[in-house]
A and B are shown apart, each in its own frame.
Chain A
Amino acid sequence: MDIDLEKMLAKVKASQWALADIDWDAPGAELITDEQWPKLKAFMSDLMWIEHVGARGFAAMARKAEDPMLKEMYTYFHAEEQRHANAEMALMRRWGMLEEDEIPLPNINLRLVIDWLDTQSDRMPLEVLGSVIPMLEVALDGALCTFLLEQVDDPVCHDAFKRINDDESRHLGVGFHVLEMQGHGKAYRLGLNFMGTVLNPRLIVGIATYLPLLSRMRDNVAAMGLPEEKLYKAMNKYERIGGRTADGRRNPWFQLISRHGRLVADRGNKLYHVPVDAMVKLTDYYPRALLRPVPTWVKELTYKTAA
């Protein structure tokens, strides 16, 4: 996916919106049924946290990007993901899911990922987060948001997610462009760099927090009624788009993440799912005392349109 970064950055800047552009008190909140309400609360909470950790991922990428244009783009994407999390909190508040200044509690796997992002993400090379984030985006964009809009009739929710999806499509465009860019070059060099990074213990810890998070999210959304196939179909988009060009396919990170996507989708593969599902359960017993204090970037979240 070859895009002109300069034009894309101009487009990003020209496509901004604010929470104040949406009338959060408009009618429609009553369309949420009593049956939907508790499931939706859990769903929105997970969604909001995925956006928020995605934001932190972009913040790390903004540090690592050498191209000033890409650096600025990621700075915008960091803020835009934060905006999505803020808008999703505003929706939760509209639906009466949050008290005053309450922030939904992240599950343990999210907490572990937040910990890892806070301490390690700035040390990771761009290609790691640059390859993972498009996978999260396709899952989010193609499955979770689509599912949400199928289930919820509230027009304000549709309005907010139309804006969010427009942003995400630009994030995906840039994400796949960078994925291909990073596959440019001699395969053996890319492979050597990949081996050097993938064996980094910091990254291994990161992977160990990412795998159970993904499985827990899958379980959560499945519990809400999202057919797993839809999620896998969306994840397959990563392989389809990322693998369209030789450069994309040559990117070892693309290979790793798309193969992992296939593993996740193949529920018959016990070799993968049994240990990862066990990790999900084990993390429930993770001693909370070992968690670092919630970083202050989490406190930047707000549902308020004005501050």
Chain B
Amino acid sequence: MSAVNGHAASKQAASASRRARKTPAARQAPVLDVAIIGAGFSGLGTAIRLREQGISDIAILERGDDVGGTWRDNTYPGAACDIPSNLYSFSFAQNPNWSRGYSGSAEILDYIHHLVDRFELRALMRFRHTVTGMTFDEARGVWTIRVAGKKNVHARCVVSAQGPLANPALPNIPGIDTFGGKTIHSARWEHSYDFAGKRVAVIGTGASAIQIVPALAERVDFLKVFQRTPAWILPRPGYAAPDWNKTLFEKLPASQTAFRNALFYAHEAMATGVIWNTPVTRLLEGVAKAFLRHQVPDAWVRRQLTPQYRIGCKRLLVSNDYYPALMRDNVKLYTWPIDKICEKGIRSVEGIEHQVDCIVFATGFAVSKAAAPFPITGVDGRRLDDEWSRGAMAYKSVNVAGYPNLFMALGPNSGPGHNSALSYMEPQIDYIVQGIQTILEYDLRALDVREDAQAKHNAQLQKRLAKTNWNSGCASWYLTEDGFNATMYPGFATQYKKQMARFVNEDYRAIRYEPEFHERWMRND
């Protein structure tokens, strides 16, 4: 029996109690029911689902001045999602008008704006609110959220939805500040910079770089691509969506749902080769190698582009135009280690100074795998940074023991390697909504996951992760420096969804304002 369904009778009394609880607090400072940090897919999705359940005392704290998160920030040339758009969108807000199989960032951002308008989220937004930390007041059951240059925000529940890929990371290359030319990070693109006739270096060959390189190659005089580790790249079955397809999806939404389901299960099938080492892994590697051979005629360049780790260990990429771009006369791939950046360019270890006008850092993001995104203080003054110093851990990626009423979207071990992040996000959101409903309807001071439940969950998780390709020996952003996997979920999205379907009361400590309540709680009464 879920907590949400099991207490309908107490709803009315709980609401009255909730109002009473809020009144004294309101005298000190207004206390929101829910504060959501971040206005990307997960933050907005949570707000939509909460409102559908009648919870509307919500604020979305966003450090930028627009919604969109990753898709607002990543506007570099060629930016696109490597998951089909029909799958990289909310199931409850499907868009029949995707122009392509894999849409570009602008179209995805339009979709997000459309969500804001359709679900009237604009009123919840508090832009230019950069959260610098938060502390739980155990006696009141309220989180105090510190906001840079603004008044604190108070809320009974907090949804941390700032996203794992929000903060651009620069590589640790000596002399990075000495470069006299232009530097641009892929996630902070400067559209005013004119690349025409310029000599440009791209550092990094990950998911962003393989999209930037083909687009920039068209514009620049010469492009030097510096690679440290090659990625496995599969062909991308992209297409321009015909009008009849859009009309069909619009007139017959079930057809789009069916297509979405087909895409979902096709991606699920990939897990058998991407997550675990199976004959499918060999098959996928064979396809990737054949694709490389087909697109890159030179044996030495092929060697440079052939990964030495198992497919799936690092993020698997899809692109039809990256390899051909590298074969252009005005593009050259370098695999020499970079020694340093100097005033005029990049010095690599083969002793040559690669002089360029602009360096593009396609070096990804600082992913918090062993630290909280900002200082978070829970019960008894415990700090999440300290607890996560050896790797982030949570219960079902959503809750952390000792930090009641705090929920995370795309928290630890919720990343997919083979499917849409939104396929994992939606069950998380629904789970978070169940948790918040529970707090508000039972009028809980604190809903805290039990330490033992969290430890058991993580022990199982790490045991399963040990058998995955991610933990097969390569260095990736999925792992901490010690090799601890704090990012990925070792299973199918279907399994994850099943895990998140039920809010398990027994795994939580519920503290109401009267002590005898907890016994009732444990009886699911």
Q: Which residues of A contact B (CB under 8 A)?
A: 13, 16-20, 63, 68, 72, 75-76, 79-80, 82-83, 86-87, 118, 122, 295-297, 300, 302, 304-307
Complex-state Cα separation, A202 to B273, whole angstroms? 33
For the complex formed, measure the closest distance between the CB of A26 and the CB atoms of chain B, giving whole angstroms.
Answer: 17
Beyond A18-B339, A18-B347, A82-B350, is A307–B300 a contact (Cβ under 8 Å)? no
Does B349 count as interface, using CB distance less than 8 angstroms? yes
Among B301, B336, B353, the residue within 8 A (CB) of A79 is B336
Highest count of chain A CB atoms <10 Å: which of B351, B352, B475: B351
Q: A16-B340, A296-B298 are in contact. Are A79 and B349 (CB under 8 A)?
A: yes
B221 CB to closest chain A CB, in angstroms? 14
Q: Taking the nearest CB of chain A, how far is it from the CB of B299, in angstroms?
A: 7
By a CB distance below 8 angstroms, the chain A residues around B344 are 306
18 residue pairs A–B, Cβ–Cβ below 8 Å: A13-B339, A16-B340, A16-B347, A18-B353, A20-B353, A63-B308, A68-B475, A75-B337, A79-B350, A80-B349, A83-B351, A118-B300, A296-B299, A304-B352, A305-B353, A306-B352, A306-B354, A307-B355
Which chain A residues border B298 with CB–CB below 8 Å? Answer: 296
Contact across chains for A79 and B348 when beta carbons are under 8 A apart: yes
- State the main secondary structure of chain B at its contact with A: mixed
| Nearest CB in chain B: distance from A22 CB, A | 9
Assess whether A76 is in contact with B300, with CB atoms less than 8 Å apart: no
Query: Chain B 392-428 against A: per-residue CB contact (8 Å), 1 yes, 0 no?
Result: 0000000000000000000000000000000000000
**Which of A63, A79, A296, A305 has most chain B Cβ within 10 Å?**
A79
The interface residues of chain A lying within 8 Å CB-to-CB of B122 are none
A297: chain B residues within 8 A (beta carbon): 300
Please determine whether A300 and B299 come into contact, CB atoms closer than 8 angstroms.
no
Contact among B299, B300, B340, B355 with A306 in the assembled complex (CB-CB below 8 Å): B355
Alpha-carbon distance between A83 and B350 when the two chains are bound, in angstroms: 4
Residue of B nearest to A71 (CB): B308
Cβ–Cβ contact B353 & A296, under 8 A: no
User: By the criterion CB–CB under 8 Å, are A307 and B352 in contact?
Assistant: yes
Q: Report A-chain residues with C-beta under 8 Å of the C-beta of B475.
A: 68
Q: Known interface pairs A75-B337, A79-B336, A307-B355. Does A86 touch B350 (Cβ–Cβ under 8 Å)? A: yes
Which residues from A are CB-within-8-Å of B336? Answer: 79, 82
Q: Is the CB of A87 within 8 A of B351?
A: yes
Q: Say if the beta carbon of B303 comes within 8 Å of chain A.
A: yes
Q: Interface of B with A (CB < 8 Å)?
A: 298-301, 303, 308, 336-337, 339-340, 344-345, 347-355, 475
Q: With both chains docked as a complex, state the minimum distance between the C-beta of A87 and any C-beta of chain B, in angstroms.
A: 6
Bound together, the chains give a CA A87 to CA B351 distance in angstroms of 8
CB-CB under 8 A from A300, the residues of chain B are: 350
Chain A residues with Cβ below 8 Å from B354 are: 306-307
Q: How far is the CB of B325 from chain A (nearest CB, A)?
A: 17
Of the residues A16, A75, A87, A295, contact of B300 by C-beta under 8 Å: A295
Given contacts A18-B351, A68-B475, contact A76 B303 (CB under 8 A): no
Chain B nearest CB from A107 CB (Å) reads 22
Please give the distance in Å from B313's CB to the nearest CB on chain A. Answer: 13
A16-B340, A79-B336, A306-B344 are contacts. A86–B300 as well, Cβ < 8 Å? no
Residue from the list B299, B303, B339, B355 in contact with A16, Cβ < 8 A? B339
CB distance from B434 to the nearest CB of A (A): 43
How far does the Cβ of A84 sit from chain B's closest Cβ, in whole Å?
Answer: 8
Smallest CB–CB gap between A168 and chain B, Å? 14
CB distance from B354 to the nearest CB of A (A): 6
Q: How far is the CB of B441 from chain A (nearest CB, A)?
A: 52
Question: Which residues of chain B are within 8 angstroms of A75 by Cβ–Cβ distance?
Answer: 337
The 7 closest A-B pairs by CB, nearest first: A83-B351, A79-B349, A82-B350, A16-B339, A306-B353, A296-B300, A19-B351
A305-B344 Cα distance, complex, nearest whole Å: 12
Known pairs A79-B336, A83-B351; list 6 more (Cβ under 8 Å): A16-B340, A18-B347, A18-B352, A76-B337, A76-B349, A306-B355
Please name the residue on chain A nearest to B353 by beta carbon: A306
Chain B residues lying within 8 Å of A87, measured Cβ to Cβ, are 351
Complexed CA–CA distance, A68 and B228 (Å)? 13
Known contacts A63-B308, A76-B337, A122 near B303 by CB under 8 Å: yes
A82 to B337, CA, bound (A): 12
> Which of B340, B349, B352 sits near A305, CB closer than 8 Å?
B352
Contact A302 B337 (CB under 8 A): no
Question: Could you tell me the distance in whole angstroms from the C-beta of A6 to the nearest C-beta in chain B?
Answer: 13
CA distance A302 to B352 in the complex (A): 9
**Cβ–Cβ < 8 Å partners of B303 in chain A:** 122
- Which residue of B is nearest A299, CB measured? B300
Shortest distance from the beta carbon of A164 to any chain B beta carbon, whole Å: 10
A284 CB to nearest B CB, Å: 28
A19 vs chain B, min Cβ distance (A): 5
Q: What's the nearest-Cβ distance from chain A to residue B175, in Å? A: 11
B349 near A83 (CB under 8 angstroms)?
A: yes
In the docked arrangement, what's the CA distance between A170 and B343, Å? 29
> A45 CA to B161 CA in the complex, in Å?
61
A19 touches which of B301, B308, B352, B355 (Cβ 8 Å): B352
B301–A296 touching, CB < 8 Å: yes
